[in-house]
Amino acid sequence: MQDEQEKSGSQPRAQPPEESASVRIRPISKVAAGVPAVIQTIKSAWSEMGVVRGTRTLLQLNQTGGFDCPGCAWPEPDKERSHAEFCENGAKHVADEATTKRITSEFFQRWSVADLAEQSDYWLGQQGRLTEPMVLREHATHYQPITWDDAFRLVAHQLNALGAPGEAIFYTSGRASNEASFLYQLFVRQFGTNNLPDCSNMCHESSGTALGETIGVGKGTVALEDFELAEAIFVIGQNPGTNHPRMLTALQKAKRNGCRIVHINPLPETGMIRFKHPQQIGDLLGKGTAIADLFLQVRINGDVALLKGIMKELLAEEEKNPGQVLDHEFIRNYTSGFAEFAAALGKTHWGDLIHESGVPKTKIEAAARIFLNSQRTIFCWAMGLTQHKNAVANIQEIVNLMLLRGQIGKPGAGLCPVRGHSNVQGDRTMGITERPSEGFLDQLAAKFNFEPPRTHGLDTVNAISAMHDGRAKVFFALGGNFLSATPDTEYTAAALRKCSLTAQVSTKLNRGHLISGAQALILPCLGRTETDLQAGGAQFVTTENSMAVVQASRGFLAPASTNLLSEPAIVARLARATLGSRTAIDWEGLVGDYDRIRDLIERVIPGFENYNQRVRQPGGFHLPNAARERIFKTSNGKAQFTVHELPAHKLKPGQFLMMTIRSHDQFNTSIYGLDDRYRGIHNGRRVVLLNRDDLRIAGLAEGQLVDLISHFEGEERLARNFQVVPYDIPRGCAATYFPEANVLVPLRSVAEKSNTPASKSVVITIKPAGSKESKKQRARG
């Protein structure tokens, strides 16, 4: 049994403290956005940034000549953009970064690391922007100021003292720009390792793996304008209203054009029920737009069964009407493996599909009819599909379905994995990966006259294991909140504590700064909103959104401190300090003018020809996508049908399948507040959503405090004091917020092939808090 509060003596706690206030439950919202979103946007912006400064900042957000939202990766229109091209959650994210609150060295004099660890994640984030580099010396209780030069010397000394380059881990957050990411991977590979785990390992790695195998490219195949042409849009395993709110505008436009929309998810989500556009008076005064025509409330991880059911219905219709359902010409000319796929599908039984999906056959048939009647269909998904043991299969079943009717490579149709962080896709394009292609490494070798390492590095899960086992000794993070974003919180905390040095590039304080190696560094950087002045003048950076559009981002606010460095500058100075005479790259010259970095990117990565010229055009430019042109760069040059077994969920009596989710007051691990307005949950986050019938059978009551115990291969993990919330969720399923419930996610429970943590397939049992059984479980820890 692994308890959520590790018995580690005086070591700071890895998990946030348990909440003392009672969670308030209100009716679930039936409409997304509208006046409440406007109020929350204004409240967040003005309270954090000030009225004038906050308004001015939001008017630059996602504008041509402005800065790219540091939140999600949903694209902006190529042509006409609204004067307010942002959403409530984007505004919260910007306000969080551009806050006027500051953390100085005096703050760290007052607060010990142990005392800070007793505060909530929300409290930590509310203290303001980091303003100067800080160091936590070995055995020290408080962070102390350190000069930038001394900080780089410390990291360089630790790196160069390692027995081998592979003993260092270099993590990347999806916020890092293309320029910072390219320099970072170049430095790391000159240092001698491919240990470049990133946040994609924990979210859409399964998408990249699935799509790479089947269509030859690990990205989606649609552009934003395709949504206006689509006749049907399926949204599966995704909550746009909270995680990608500007997507609702695209769905609203599609719906008004006559598009049919299907939502597939274990939870009904407000954004997919009805949407009031905050900038349309008619919406604000009226009822708004109903979004989903059909809601299929699938069991957690019942998606393969559901998708197989839709496809089984299509094949049955093809038998009744030969040549009128499937796109035989597309299948013949562009695909491989159809016969084997059809034979395997024919052996599945409707009873199994209905049982495993939890969806009645009539609703599956209704979804199949919508798909069948559409000549242009888009399929969207997010982490509801990518964080299961069979995650790759989930996505490849979507590909199978789309191939049946040739719904890839034509206007108004295609595959749309919706990325969570603003440049997570761009980071991967820039070479942030533990498994680089030989072609990419060959280009680095030719352009920079060094031999990059060819051995694959460590992804996030394997990096944690390596630190825990002592095989990795230095951890460096370019952004992010590694501890709170990763699974198996106590195991990860123990891994970080075994390092000789942990160093993190950050804008805000987070729990990851408090769980450290023998020594730790906080390296504060510029935010996306801020002016970036280098030797060559004011610079801009670039990002790539979910639909492979590369665009410029120009901050304009005065930096939170004169002692901040940009991410490219931090990487360049670290490279110089570490590599010394071993590198011939002019790191200082590159940082003096980011155009020089983009010139190098152009020479190495296909699709970036005339990079500096094209990215200065309004809206930037689209990267090429072969699959969008029906060119499938697979082993045989064709898109692949694949065959997958039906996942079976054999829960024992009293067990539930739990998934972790976000609230409406958070972005990834950043907590903006304690309310989940759309779900009616207020004033707290330690909740577990359960079906009312399950509550009755388990003898639990609404509002009762319970302990959650996860079960994996004979191991148990404990999370205490969660409040029971009755909710519209399928029987046998449970939902909790991350990062609070990450402690329950076993590190070794991962998706096949992609190695993504299975954070949405966690088997748990539930016991009353403080019960004898729970105390016994705790004692075993």
Listing DSSP states for 514-575 in one string gives TS--SEEEEEEB--TTB-EEETTEEE-EEEE-TT-EEEEE---BPPS-TT-B-HHHHHHHHH
Across the beta sheet with 501-506, what order do the strands follow?
A: 144-145, 134-136, 519-524, 501-506, 474-478, 168-172
Calpha distance 659→318 (Å, rounded): 36
CB 556 within 8 A of CB 532: no
Mean pLDDT calculated for residue range 620-647: 97
Calpha distance 440→196 (Å, rounded): 15
- The string of DSSP letters for 562-622 reads TT-B-HHHHHHHHHHHHHGGG----HHHHHH-HHHHHHHHHHHSTT-TTHHHHHTSTT-EE
Mean pLDDT calculated for residue range 585-597: 98
pLDDT digits (tens, 9 = 90+) for 236-291: 999 999 999 999 999 999 999 999 999 999 999 999 999 999 989 888 889 999 99
| Alpha carbon distances (Å) from 515 to 237, 362, 498, 499, 685 | 32, 51, 10, 11, 22
pLDDT digits (tens, 9 = 90+) for 598-629: 999 999 999 999 999 999 999 999 999 999 99
For the chain, what is the radius of gyration of the CA atoms?
25
**Which letter does DSSP use for residue 750 in this model?**
B
Q: Assess whether pLDDT exceeds 70 at residue 149.
A: yes
Task: Report the DSSP beta bridge partners of residue 767.
Answer: 707
Of 488-502, 569-583, 759-773, which range is least confident? 759-773
Calpha distance 299→343 (Å, rounded): 26
Q: What angle do CA 474, 479, 480 make, to 5 degrees?
A: 95
Task: Report the DSSP beta bridge partners of residue 12.
Answer: none
Calpha distance 664→3 (Å, rounded): 28
pLDDT digits (tens, 9 = 90+) for 188-241: 999 999 999 999 999 999 999 999 999 999 999 999 999 999 999 999 999 999
Calpha distance 128→123 (Å, rounded): 10
Mean pLDDT calculated for residue range 121-142: 97
Q: Assess whether pLDDT exceeds 70 at residue 774.
A: no
pLDDT digits (tens, 9 = 90+) for 409-420: 999 999 999 988
Q: What is the mean pLDDT of the chain?
A: 95
Q: What is the pLDDT of residue 773?
A: 62
Q: What is the pLDDT of residue 770?
A: 80
HSE, CB side, 13 Å, CA atoms: give it for residue 319.
8
Q: What is the pLDDT of residue 21?
A: 66
Q: Assess whether pLDDT exceeds 50 at residue 62.
A: yes
Token pair belonging to 119: 């505060």
Mean pLDDT calculated for residue range 56-75: 92
Percent pLDDT > 70 in the chain is 97
CB 94 within 8 A of CB 61: yes
Buried b (16+ CB within 10 A) or exposed e, 248-264: bbbbbebbeeebbbbbb
Per the document, the length of the chain is 781
Mode of pairing for the β-strands spanning 24-25 and 681-682: antiparallel
Token pair belonging to 655: 């067990």
**Closest by alpha carbon to 723, among 700, 745, 704?**
704
Number of helical (H) and strand (E) elements in the chain, helices listed first: 31, 34
CB 328 within 8 A of CB 403: no
pLDDT digits (tens, 9 = 90+) for 423-455: 899 999 999 999 999 999 999 999 999 999 999
Name the pTM for this structure: 0.96
Calpha distance 328→403 (Å, rounded): 10
Task: Report the DSSP beta bridge partners of residue 171.
Answer: 477
Mean pLDDT calculated for residue range 454-458: 98
Determine how many CB atoms are found less than 10 A away from the CB of residue 429.
23
Q: What is the pLDDT of residue 8?
A: 42
pLDDT digits (tens, 9 = 90+) for 720-763: 999 999 999 999 999 999 999 999 999 999 999 999 999 999 99
pLDDT digits (tens, 9 = 90+) for 528-549: 999 999 999 999 999 999 999 9
Task: Report the DSSP beta bridge partners of residue 537.
Answer: 534
